[in-house]
Structure 1
Amino acid sequence: MPSSQAERRCPQAVFVKPRFEVYKQVSRQIHLVFREFTDLIEPLSLDEAYLDVTNNMLFNGSAYRLAVEIKSLIRERTGLIASAGVSYNKFLAKIASDYKKPDGLFCIPPEQGESFVESLAIGRFHGVGKVTELHMDKLNVKTCADLQQFSAADLQLEFGKFGQRLYELSRGIDHRP
């Protein structure tokens, strides 16, 4: 929530000036930890990134055990807790990361991807805002399981090119590299 909106809603609130330089420095420390495990890092923000550890053979290639180690090193070096999501694509890794916050670690293996997303609310999909959610509400779509009842062609008729993306995400499919 933007601070201007927070101030309107809660005029008695005390606002602390952000220390962006400190945040950036800590973010750099965290990214140095990431670099110990992979060069394939896609930063999303100061405190969030996708890591591709496919080729890391530490812990016999266990991405879950790598995530445990990364979380441990972040805490040791910065004093901060971190959440991690482990999965075979970005969509599910992000869902997994959000699933057990704060200080969580959750894994969605390939054989559980489609069934895991069934209970997800449509609003959890990246790109589904209020307008799309209202459109889906008219179609009586509240969860991925509801969305899975539609064919790719039907979703494309309703949502254009985004319909194909919705079809794939509702089945745990995300082709982004």
Structure 2
Amino acid sequence: MTARKIIHIDMDAFYASVEQRDNPQLWGKPVIVAWRGNRSVVCAASYEARKFGVRSAMPAVRAGHLCPNAIFLPPDFPRYRAVSRQVREIFQHDTDLIEPLSLDEAYLDVTENKTGLPTATQVARTIREQIRS
């Protein structure tokens, strides 16, 4: 029996990364995706905001205190869903065996991948390059 080759894909800071990708003025700046308000929580924080200790699920008020120069953006879930669909299309170039966990996370069975690459690591590198391009 052949061992299965499973890849776990988790796109860190997905919502913030989409915002930065779509708005070059945000590149290199601390971005926090969250509604402003006392009861709001952080949906995503860019790597620049994470350097200040901001994390997902943290109260937005606390995030604002930790990173006072952060750019707060309201979540745009329709756009994130659209980008997630585009990413899944990339996955489908390599395999039809996809188990989505969320908009930014999935398991892929690449045992018999469509590209014929021999290792899961090679498939993962190819997918990463395609997502980034």
TM-score (norm 2): 0.48
1 or 2 for the larger relative contact order (CA 8 Å, sep ≥6)? 2
The structure whose Rg is larger is 1
